[in-house]
Amino acid sequence: MLLIPCPYCGPRSELEFKHAGEAHITREPQVADDQAWGEFLYTRTNPKGIIAERWRHTSGCGRFFNCLRDTVSDNILATYKSGEPRPSLETSGEPSR
């Protein structure tokens, strides 16, 4: 089981959380053609390595936050509040392996 550090409540068990897809996906309201809309809806980076994701502390404070996770090792590298910039990996501490 993962121990996920909620930016508000501190480290909590994975079963209190819900995954909510990739983070930092922004919609460009000015671009409304089918191609851009389709990419906004469906295209994700799906990297092998570090990914920024949204999580929600569903059974805790109920807040969405962002999380840097290594998809290979499942290590949680950093969590930060929604609206805050993605932290650089130098400042996130722990190595991914």
Partner 1 sequence: MVETVTLARSGSLAGRRMASVTELAPVARFSFRGSEATAIKLGEAFGARPAVEPCRSSVAGARSALWLGPDEWLLIATDQDAGTLFAALETALAAEPHSLVDVSHRNTGFDIVGAGGAGLLSEGCPLDFDLAAFPVGMCTQTVLGKAEIVLWRFAPLSFRLECWRSFAPYVADFLAQAADNQD
Q: Which of 20, 25, 50, 63 binds partner 1 (CB under 8 A)?
A: 63
**How many residues sit close enough to partner 1 to count as binding (CB under 8 A)?**
13
Classify 77 as helix, strand or coil. Answer: strand
CB atoms near residue 79 (< 10 Å)? 22
Residue 35 host element (H or E): helix 34-42
| Tokens of residue 76, six digits | 């949680």
CB 26, min distance to partner 1, A: 23
CB 7, min distance to partner 1, A: 9
Q: Is residue 64 close enough to count as binding partner 1 by CB under 8 A?
A: no
